[in-house]
Amino acid sequence: MIAKRPEGHGPLCWIAARLSQGWDWIDDRDIDKHAVALVVMFGLIKITEWAMAFAGTHADKDGLQIAAIIASVTAPYMALLTAVISFYFKARTP
């Protein structure tokens, strides 16, 4: 015979229930997906600012060298950006 688990009525159970309800509210509105997309877009802005500052402060280097350095830094981030935006739009389509 399987014993029934007693219902939790303590303060930890109340906190867990409120956290679960809060996460359900966030998940129902896709706030988590929006937040991730916004953070990644903000990162794109910061990397672009860095690239422009790098190009401005290294005027003594050849343009091809600067382009290669910037591409080697931004290419992995662009792969991340592509994956996040792809996931974002797939999650929004019914």
Domain definitions of the chain by residue range:
30-92
Distance of alpha carbon 44 from alpha carbon 67, whole angstroms: 17
Distance of alpha carbon 76 from alpha carbon 13, whole angstroms: 43
Distance of alpha carbon 84 from alpha carbon 42, whole angstroms: 13
0.75 exceeded by pTM: no
Q: pLDDT tens string for the chain (94 positions)?
A: 555 556 667 888 888 888 989 988 888 888 888 888 899 999 999 998 998 899 889 989 998 999 999 999 899 999 999 999 888 888 766 6
